[in-house]
Amino acid sequence: MEDFDVSAWLGLLSQTTRFITLDTTAADGLIVERFEGREAVNDDFRFELDCVSASAFIDLKPLIGQPISVGIATAAGGRRYWHGIITHAASLGADGGLARYRLDMQSGLALLALRRNALIFQDRSALDVVTQVLADYPQLKVRTEVTTALRTRPICTQYRETDLAFVQRLLGEEGLSYRFEHDQTSSDDGPGHTLVIFDTQAAQPTGAPAAVRFHRIDATEQDDAVSVFSERRQLVPDQVTTASWKPDQVLSVAGTAQAPHDGNAPELPSLDVFDADRSGRFDTAAQAQHYATHRLDALRLPARTFRGQGAVRTLEAGKSYVLTQHPDLSGQAFVPLTLDHVATNNLGTALPHLRGSQTDDSTLGKGSYRQQFDAVPAGTPIAPAHRDRPL
């Protein structure tokens, strides 16, 4: 490191003209050198940010729980932002006067995993209970897009579960999914992200821009593109039957949901999932049918999916897009369910030498972004996986 010029780097540690920007009032002087992140429908997002600073003495304690915003420059000249809170901070050492840090950014849902409780809720729907639990966390903004009325539960018990496990279980029992939407401003004042709870009948939002082209990724190209987009098929169950015993009437209440047969598929035996639930779970056959339907929707999500790679910086999990210029799938509308991001900042040529092999990524140039995603055809009912009740 004898040839490393710290004074030159001090002039470069500015967010002006940077490909990646970082906004947080908790620590001035941190510049992102690289990040990796994952977003998904029905899961929390998590970004790991490798940062550099001219100070080797940043106090990590005040960082935890503070709001943070990360942005990348887009092809249209604007910025794409993600907002969250800092859930982990680490010092990675210093070399020649330049210090490195690592921050983890998650949504306010991360807080729900840290509180465990045992509570009883009376005469409320699952969504009412979820809303009450989430109200304890001001770090989360919540919006609901639930189009169907949910049954009132005489008793709903949270038993030795974290708030996160309890909320996810209730949403899964009612076929309610969630995604995150991020305010597209750089302000770190407030949560900056919204938890959107929706059911299978809610309209799928359209991304902006809605059209995503299939093309090679090249520095000479002015627009973002998807460079890999392939179809996948998987064998899945085709029927779900649910039943619950009603002791006061000496009656079994049951419902069945069955997927229509694909005429091009071979004849197979019925692939039925039978679920005999606890006594008194369903009051009517319609309730059992509703549960069976969204349970089948969740099981059939992998039946037809797409795997993609590219550099479309505006792509969001849970929103609908249309693929263009593809030789076989042009015009295919799709909804990303998971998105994996990796990006490097435009911090000059000396940084990889400083970092060594710890986080070096030779596949990305300075100021670059790449992604990988899994998607389903637009219009596919999106339902969460079933989660078992605690014993």
Q: Tell me: the pLDDT tens digits for 6-46?
A: 555 555 556 667 899 999 887 778 999 999 999 999 999 99
Cα within 13 Å of Cα(214), Cβ side: 17
- Under 8 Å between Cβ of 258 and 239: yes
Q: What is the mean pLDDT of the chain?
A: 89
Which among 312, 336, 320, 310 has a CA at the least distance from the CA of 224? 312
pLDDT digits over 333-382, tens only?
999 999 999 999 988 655 544 444 344 455 678 889 999 999 999 999 99
For the record, the structure tokens of 318 come out as: 């849970």
pLDDT digits over 245-295, tens only?
877 776 788 889 999 877 677 788 889 999 887 777 788 889 899 999 999
The CA R_g of the chain, rounded to the nearest whole Å, is 24
Quote the CA–CA distance of 161 and 156 in Å, as a whole number: 13
The predicted pLDDT at position 354 comes to: 46
